[in-house]
Amino acid sequence: MSDAGPTPGSQVDWRHDVFRILKEADVKHIVYVPDAGHSTAIRLADEDNAINSVVLTTEEEGIGYLAGAWLGGERGALLMQSSGVGNCINTLALQACTRFPLLMVVTMRGDWAEFNAWQNPMGQATEKALNLMGVLTWRADEPQDVAPLLHGAASMAFNGDAACALLLGQRLIGEKQWVK
């Protein structure tokens, strides 16, 4: 990149980049089902008085919420784990039929070095399922890719009334330590 972007490799703090890019995109609502990979963005959202930080009981609640916020003129983003994409499928019709900016950031499971094979079926189907429902997708596996890809996804969501998802690969997030 030729602009004053982050330096390559492990110096990049992609966890902070997620929140920074959402703020730069004028996001006022961050709605989520927690995942460890999103914990920094969730904490920063909770601490920011200009952000409505909303914990959901299930991911599809976030689609309705963001549709409503957009009716009222405000932007938001939905953070979830790949398993939550499965919960969203039918509700994605709301975006397809009304066309509002739906920006999603998805932390992957069942994707790389997964210990719990029960995560694999949904993890392996996540991107295809999103595409089947008309969601545009990008994948970040390197720290320096998170900021530019999220910026691009946000740009296309908010400039195109589109559903856009950035998938954060399991290799980026790191191997979960099951046995300490």
Rounded distance between C-alpha atoms, residue 163 and residue 137, angstroms: 9
Residue list 59-78, contact with other proteins (CB under 8 A): 60-74, 76
Looking at beta carbons only, is 7 or 159 nearer to other proteins? 159
- By CB under 8 A, residue 161 contacts other proteins: yes
Which one among 8, 34, 55, 118 touches other proteins, defined by CB under 8 A? 55
Select 97 or 113, whichever has its Cβ closest to other proteins: 97
57 belongs to the binding site for other proteins (CB under 8 A): yes
Q: How far apart are CA 44 and CA 35, in angstroms?
A: 14
Rule CB under 8 A: is residue 9 a binding residue for other proteins? no
Q: Binding of other proteins at residue 48 (CB under 8 A)? A: no
Binding of other proteins by 50 (CB under 8 A): no
CB distance 88 to 60 below 8 Å? yes
Q: Which of 40, 54, 114, 155 binds other proteins (CB under 8 A)?
A: 54
Residue 163 Cβ, how far from other proteins at the closest point, in Å? 13
Nearer to other proteins (CB atom), residue 63 or residue 105: 63
Q: List residues binding other proteins (CB under 8 A).
A: 28-29, 52, 54-58, 60-74, 76, 90-91, 93-94, 97-100, 159-161
